[in-house]
Amino acid sequence: MTQERTALPTAECAPQQEAGSLTRSVRRGALWTAASAILLRFGNILVMAVVARLISPDELGIYALAIAVYGFVASLASWGVASAIGRSDLDADKLGPTVTTFALSGTCVVAGAMALLAGPVASAFEAPEAAGPIRILAVALAVQGIIAVPAAQIQRLFRQDVIFRANVVAFILSNTTLLGLATVINGAEAFAWSRVVGNGVVGVMIVLALEKRYRPGWHAQFVGPLLRFGIPVALGTLLSRFVLNIDYVIVGRETSTTDLGFYMLAFTICSWPTAALGAVMDQVALPAFSGARRDGRDLRETVYRAVRIVALVACPIAAFTCAFAYPLIEAVYGAKWLTAAPVVQVLALYGVLYVLGTLFDEMMIASGKTMTMFLVQATALVALVPTLIVGVRTGGLVGVGVGHILVVLVVTMPAYLIAMKATTGAGLGVALRAVSRPVAAALAAAGVALLVTEGLAHPLAKLAVGGMVGLVVYVAVAGPQLLQLFPDRLADQPILVAATAWPSSVAKRLGISTDNSCHNRT
């Protein structure tokens, strides 16, 4: 047991008779979170389709810079200690008051500094128009910090149904605000105010759903261990935010806010796998993996299953996005945004790699290896900045996307896999076996869909036919692995079994093995 786990108060082990409760809780929480993410993603696509016709690429570029600053600063708001409440192997009741004090004090300081320094920061980015949105987002940051501990409590309890309801209400109110303000004030400020409304609504609903709320308090014996745990988390998250958002800063400085607007749209589209899975991992992966460690489960198998589930969802989204980038942008956002299409095609792969890195981040935190997480992010950032500068100067916006992929493949992912091998025993071989079937299925689906839709001219027709054909092919190739994403009562339905099992039956008749489990291979 590490020093950090010895110093922080641990929770009692789960009773043996409840061995299956963790799996049920994880699956239930994941389904609620996935439903929320998918519903909101489709909703945001529809809203953005309207807003893209009301604002200019320049206004979207200004908001991109403001939201980048918000992402950097938000990493430090609660000093990273709120993650300790989300770990199911630690005693939240003993830690709660002290963590609440850290979260509230850190938020007040950081949000105030963000508001005061908005002007100089915007000028440093050569976009003084971003100062207003940055100040507005400081309010959103304050709200986010205030609810950091309640949100971690919801995460710990796998109460993602609360998050689902909160997100739905927040989506309606925040986007009503956005659409109402977009025709009255600058588009970047309209986006910023909608973020304030959304954070506020989610916060209120989370707090009201909790039966236990922690008041600020102070237990000196926990301060050192919390800081040793939390500061690497905060710094690692900050670095991950730099890795995720430094391209906005570089593109904004090297080109223009108009080009940055095109780039932000492309990056948003390619973040669809992150949107669909990032929320699940933020809410479920930390308590699930820490629970598996607490219960003495096979961590190698746990990593294999988690990577496979992520790949089953992320790979088809990325493949379809890459294959149908042009009709997708034209149909959804309008022809004036087609400049973003080549960037979308390149960044589609990055979306899959990034979401896998996010999963490994959560596993590092759950294992108490927060310094490892920090070192991985620091190494990635050192490599990323010069690579992106060279990329944008030699290849424009597409060069930035290529730079992202190179750094992840050469630096970030190998570092993660080495760390995961040392921590769980699951390294490159386990990861490759986990992603092999989803990758093959996604490539086959995208290829067949492109062939079938080659003669179609209308973008909506291409998307509709390509989507249906691709889905059929993907389900056929991915096979029974997809059933593991559903609850048992749905996975046993004859129509789902028939839709996913027939390729395996054909393969068996041909003498081809389809067993892709972790334990059956060395």
pLDDT average, residue stretch 247-272: 85
* More confidently predicted of 130 and 91: 130
Using alpha carbons, select from 170, 136, 138, 135 the residue that is nearest to residue 151. 170
Model pLDDT, residue 516: 45
| CA–CA separation, 498 and 512 (whole Å) | 19
H or E element that contains 217: none
Would the pLDDT of 447 be above 90? yes
Q: Among 64-68, 194-198, 387-391, which is the least confidently predicted range?
A: 64-68
Rg (CA), the chain: 23
**DSSP conformational letter for 439:** H
Model pLDDT, residue 503: 59
Q: Among 141-145, 474-478, 487-491, which is the least confidently predicted range?
A: 487-491
pLDDT average, residue stretch 161-183: 86
pLDDT average, residue stretch 209-226: 79
pLDDT average, residue stretch 5-27: 54
Model pLDDT, residue 439: 92
| CA–CA separation, 411 and 415 (whole Å) | 6
Model pLDDT, residue 38: 66
**Residue 447 corresponds to which tokens in the numbers above?**
């290829």
Query: Which of the given ranges, 59-63, 82-86, 361-365, 442-446, has the highest pLDDT on average?
Result: 442-446
Alpha carbon of 232 to those of 76, 101, 235, 237, 369: distances in Å?
A: 11, 19, 5, 8, 9
Would the pLDDT of 381 be above 70? yes
Model pLDDT, residue 517: 45
Model pLDDT, residue 518: 45
Find tokens 């559903």 and name the residue. 486
* pLDDT classification of 5: cutoffs 50, 70, 90: very low
Q: Among 78-87, 177-186, 446-455, which is the least confidently predicted range?
A: 78-87
pLDDT average, residue stretch 231-259: 79
Q: Among 330-344, 348-362, 503-517, which is the least confidently predicted range?
A: 503-517
Would the pLDDT of 51 be above 80? no
* pLDDT classification of 3: cutoffs 50, 70, 90: very low
Helix (H, G, I), strand (E, B) or coil at 494: helix
CB 438 within 8 A of CB 473: no
**Residue 129 corresponds to which tokens in the numbers above?**
């128009």
CB 405 within 8 A of CB 438: no
Q: Among 139-143, 200-204, 424-428, which is the least confidently predicted range?
A: 424-428
Tell me the helix, strand and coil percentages in the chain, rounded to 5: 85, 0, 15
Would the pLDDT of 510 be above 60? no
| CA–CA separation, 463 and 336 (whole Å) | 19
* More confidently predicted of 257 and 86: 257
Q: Among 78-87, 219-228, 322-331, 372-381, which is the least confidently predicted range?
A: 78-87
* pLDDT classification of 19: cutoffs 50, 70, 90: very low
In whole angstroms, what separates CA 330 from the centre of its chain? 26
| CA–CA separation, 263 and 248 (whole Å) | 8
CB 150 within 8 A of CB 206: yes
Q: Among 10-24, 247-261, 274-288, 472-486, which is the least confidently predicted range?
A: 10-24
CB 387 within 8 A of CB 406: yes
* pLDDT classification of 387: cutoffs 50, 70, 90: very high
Instruction: List alpha helices for 117-186, DSSP H.
Output: 118-124, 131-146, 148-156, 160-182
N- to C-terminal Cα separation, the chain: 27
Would the pLDDT of 448 be above 90? yes
Annotate 40-77 with b (16+ C-beta within 10 A) or e (fewer).
bbeebbebbeebbeebebbbbbbbbbbbbbbbbbbbbb
Q: Among 33-47, 269-283, 418-432, 502-516, which is the least confidently predicted range?
A: 502-516
Model pLDDT, residue 398: 93
Alpha carbon of 39 to those of 162, 171, 175, 177, 474: distances in Å?
A: 15, 10, 14, 19, 21
Instruction: List alpha helices for 408-427, DSSP H.
Output: 413-424
DSSP string, 104-131: HHHHHHHHHHHHHTHHHHHHHTT-GGGH
| CA–CA separation, 63 and 50 (whole Å) | 17
Would the pLDDT of 11 be above 60? no
pLDDT average, residue stretch 442-451: 93
Would the pLDDT of 221 be above 80? no
| CA–CA separation, 64 and 56 (whole Å) | 13
What does the mean pLDDT of the chain come to? 79
* pLDDT classification of 465: cutoffs 50, 70, 90: very high
Model pLDDT, residue 8: 66
Find tokens 């492109």 and name the residue. 450
Residue 123 falls in which region: left (phi positive, over 0), alpha (psi -120 to 50) or beta: alpha
Model pLDDT, residue 227: 73
* More confidently predicted of 69 and 283: 69
| CA–CA separation, 397 and 468 (whole Å) | 31
**Residue 262 corresponds to which tokens in the numbers above?**
């095109």
| CA–CA separation, 260 and 263 (whole Å) | 5
| CA–CA separation, 469 and 461 (whole Å) | 12
Model pLDDT, residue 397: 92
Residues ≥6 apart with Cβ < 8 Å to 80: 229, 230, 231, 232, 233, 234, 235, 236, 237, 370
H or E element that contains 479: none
Alpha carbon of 331 to those of 133, 181, 268, 464, 480: distances in Å?
A: 29, 24, 16, 11, 33
* More confidently predicted of 390 and 358: 390
Model pLDDT, residue 238: 73
Model pLDDT, residue 56: 83
| CA–CA separation, 281 and 300 (whole Å) | 18
Would the pLDDT of 356 be above 70? yes
CB 33 within 8 A of CB 164: yes
* pLDDT classification of 400: cutoffs 50, 70, 90: very high
* pLDDT classification of 445: cutoffs 50, 70, 90: very high
Longest dimension (CA), the chain: 70
Would the pLDDT of 197 be above 90? yes
